[in-house]
Structure 1
């Protein structure tokens, strides 16, 4: 992201709890491994994942895009050797590693470079559905971003992570597109009419891709609830996308964030309250899907229904995941 000039104060840096244990002053991007298998944690766990950023730090990329060829160094500048792990005879054959290139700290404008707990909860949800049902088989899904997933640095990093994991997770890179979705422009996004091979235009949409997106049946979002203004823009974009083409369902994971309110003289989650004002629950709405109530209807999915497959995070009580539907016949707030 563009930095301030002319002696402007350096932007405040924030760190995801997922990155605790990483060297906080490292410049560039780290690569961490997140481990999972088809059995949830607690069901015959084994050694094999590190559980923190420190031991799983394997490389650094100073620019946008893929991994650099430079050797990794620790916070003191000493060489980090990538030692082969001694295989534990009890390690499960269905054990997998998800490799994520990410920032350790970032400004608020660049939080899309970090990994947040809500994203790992959403990954657990997708893994559980995939391991136990055919619910996601053959679907077209759209991950609608974190509000700040704009600009070449963040989008290049998204693309790098697609490429890093395609071989290990055995998916076709050609079926995964990284595109910029500016919530301020809402849906549909601008269409590229220029040479698609131009690197500066690589994240613009084609008309065909917009058509395919509107045929999607599943939307994903994680950790998009932290700014009331962005929440407004998010739901406006989602409303228009869910009103187009096939019927869609949104799975949204979030972490409640609390702060002290001088108005209320208490610690409150105002951003969360603003988010909840956009939809009613199924209990509040009743069994009827149509009517004169707001167009979004949500159902909270209990965390007890989602086993934890990914080792390297602690859920806590502030994580939630919601299933949200939208009916265009209803009125939006």
Structure 2
């Protein structure tokens, strides 16, 4: 997701996702990383990849788009040579690759050009549901603040239609490139993935595009807005890091979830801690503000508070979400929530 707000003069501060620590540092162009998974979770019988891999396979591309040679490096930065492995003819080849073009570092405004751990967690959740149930088969869904589009790509394997949304031409162009790169290997029809701009400052519905050839290819048509309102599932990852952005996000969520079909939102985030001078303690910035937008549910699905926001959320036990994607370490600061809309409750 492109972060809101404008900066002053001077060079913008660069940030880096932990997911990209194995990539060559100080590269200003785009990289392509490949994330691997199979239909069996890591560590289960039949999956020999029980440990998270530190290997990042990447193809460097220049800022102008010129492709360089493909290479692989291990955790020490040493070159890894491909060796042909003998396959057991009785073992089904069940491994898949998701190819993601991204930046290694970015400004805060363009963090959507990187892959973040919460997106990998949410992709694991989508993969788990697709391998063990029919919950997402044939759904119409919306990914909000999609960034590189990783979650939407995982869902495109089984969904009927997925609207992959974010803001900013650079981020949307990169997201669309990822859709094209993965349609063949993940075996989904490009036509079912619709990359569109959704500016939370303008809330919902977004403006309708015109037939002007100079208008953005990421503008919505009236029929697409109508179709999106029939979506039953929303997904978002790692968009909680600014109170202002959280306000805009939940304003859009409330309007989306109150329009058309009944919807459920799956939200993943990573709690990031900083020392607060006001509280003289280490705190997760914006987390309490995020939690104020929905009432929590108990283990039976009943609201803990009798009155409050029209949104209710239940935290998902991550032990029930096996890890499928090898190339990341979840750590202890990831969370995932299932959030539902109840119109008879008071709006926040």
CA distance in 1, matches of 2:204, 2:188: 28
- Give the direction of change, closer, same or farther, for the CA distance of 1:166–1:138 in structure 2 (3 Å limit): same
Alignment-derived partner of residue 17 in structure 1:
18
Alignment equivalent of 2:264, drawn from 218, 242, 249: 249
CA distance in 1, matches of 2:110, 2:117: 16
Verify: 1:136 aligned to 2:136, yes or no. Answer: yes
Q: Report the CA distance between 1:51 and its aligned residue.
A: 3.4
- RMSD over aligned CA atoms reads 2.9
* Alpha-carbon contact 2:298-2:304 (below 8 Å) kept: no
Verify: 1:58 aligned to 2:56, yes or no. Answer: no
Alignment-derived partner of residue 106 in structure 2:
106
Q: Mind listing any 5+ residue stretches in structure 2 that lack a counterpart?
A: 3-7, 148-164
Higher helix share: 1
Alignment equivalent of 1:265, drawn from 259, 273, 280: 280
Matches within 5 A, 1:1-333: 8-43=9-44, 44-46=46-48, 51-52=53-54, 54=56, 56-63=57-64, 68-71=66-69, 84-89=82-87, 93-145=93-145, 149-195=166-212, 198=213, 200-283=215-298, 287=302, 292-333=307-348
* Alpha-carbon contact 1:280-1:297 (below 8 Å) kept: yes
CA distance in 2, matches of 1:50, 1:199: 46
1:265-310, Cα deviation, whole Å (9 max, x unpaired): 1001131111011111112996379974310100111010000000
CA distance in 1, matches of 2:72, 2:11: 24
* Alpha-carbon contact 1:255-1:319 (below 8 Å) kept: yes
**TM-score calculated relative to the size of structure 2:** 0.84
CA distance in 1, matches of 2:336, 2:72: 36
Q: Report the CA distance between 1:59 and its aligned residue.
A: 3.5
**TM-score calculated relative to the size of structure 1:** 0.87
- Give the direction of change, closer, same or farther, for the CA distance of 1:144–1:266 in structure 2 (3 Å limit): same
